[in-house]
Every structure is written in C-alpha cells, then in structure tokens.
Amino acid sequence: MILRLLLIFIAVSINLSAAPQKVLAVAYKNKTIQRPIIILDAGHGGLDKGAKIQYPYLEEKRLSLSLTLLAKKYLEQLGYKVILTRAKDYFVPLKKRVEFANEAKAEIFVSIHFNSCPNKTAHGIEIYYHNSLENKVKAKTSLNLAQCILSDIIKKTKARSRGVKKGKFCVIKDTKMPAILIEAGFLTNPQERDNIRKTIYLDKISLGIAEGVESFINKYF
C-alpha cells in the first residue's frame, strides 16, 4: 500500500513538473504531426567576426551563435525541426547558406545578427525582409513573419522596437521561403550591450523568436 501511494505521488510530481511546452512537444511527436522546418542562420563565423567591440571585447559572430542555439532549443520544445547553417564557429559563404536553405525545403528562414553604429545612442531591435516584386507572396509572408517575431521579442525583452524594415541582404533575397533577418540589438550602445552579454537577456530574445514563429504559424499557415 505504502509503495502504491509512493508510486502515485511520484507519478503526480512528474506530471506537475513537466513544462507545458514539453508536453506539447511530446504530443507532436506521438501524433507525428509534421511541423514546418525552420532554418536558423547564425550571422558571420570563422574569420568573419561581424561587429566587434574592444572594451569589453565582444564579437558579433559569437553572440549570434549563442542566440541561435537558444532559439533552436525553444523551437524544438515547440516541436519544430530546426536546421542550422552553422552550429560552430566557422565561416559559411552567404550563397552556401541560401543554397542550403533552398535544398532543405525549409518553410521559414531566420537569420540572426547584432547591430552596430558610430552613434552610440542608437539602440533597439529591428527585423528586415525582402520586398520582392517578383514574388509577392514571399514578400507578404516574410513581412507577416517579421511582424510576429518582432512583436513577441519586444514583449519579452521590453527593448525598443525599431520596426520592420525592407532590406536586400542575400540571405533574405535569394531564399525561396519566407525569410527575415533579425538585428537583435546594438553592440555599440553601452546599456543594450550590457543586456546582450547576459544569457538571461538572450534567453528572452530567443523565447520571443520561438513564440513569434508559433504566432505566425497559427495565424497564417
């Protein structure tokens, strides 16, 4: 009897401690629901360090990879299949990133960067999409994706929104699926940089990315 009670207690505790996202992920696995494939593209890498700060020494390529790995974790908890264009500190040409995404038949492409500016007061988060005139469906869905993700990142971080902007970066222009490029804050702004250096803050941005993808899928897929 005591053993039975103990087993029930353990079972209830396990159930209560399971995070809702994990329960959802298990449900997706068990029902074998196919969720969209997402490409996360950590900006720069290897010899291409991206934006650099001397004091304290920071490299964009490392921060973009840290944020990408956190976003991957949260998206996988929601049941998405996530593919990375780079999982370590190595250089991947932009064209290769595009080819990789197109060949993987991914449904969503998210490139992750941090910003810099000679004006140290510049701060906030902005997201770029390509306003393609040849592919209006891609332009519209990319815009929707950018709006969903920006809104969720701002909710989580309380950072300043610099809005959704049009851009012609190769990774968002030449990919075939809805594609966006996140500039997740300015390394040149002392206050924002202090936040970005903390894992707890990167965690908030990555949760915003994952929840933004989820809002986009629920609204438009």
Q: Which of 50, 183, 185, 65 is nearest to 129 (CA)?
A: 183
Contact 39, 111 (CB under 8 A): no
Please identify which residue in the block is written with the tokens 């966006």.
180
* Terminal Cα distance for the chain, rounded: 51
Question: 53 CB contacts (<8 Å, ≥6 apart)?
Answer: 116, 187, 188, 193
Residue 178 makes contact with Zn ion by CB under 5 A: no
Residue 45 makes contact with Zn ion by CB under 5 A: no
CB of 183 to Zn ion, least distance (A): 7
Residue 113 makes contact with Zn ion by CB under 5 A: yes
CB of 42 to Zn ion, least distance (A): 10
Q: Which is nearer to Zn ion, 112 or 164 (CB)?
A: 112
Query: Whose CB is nearest to Zn ion?
Result: 113
Number of H helices, E strands in the chain: 8, 8
Amino acid at 85: T
CB of 52 to Zn ion, least distance (A): 11
The stretch among 39-47, 100-108, 147-155, 197-205 that binds Zn ion (CB under 5 A) is 39-47
Residue 193 makes contact with Zn ion by CB under 5 A: no
Residue 123 makes contact with Zn ion by CB under 5 A: no
Q: Which residues bind Zn ion (CB under 5 A)?
A: 43, 50, 113
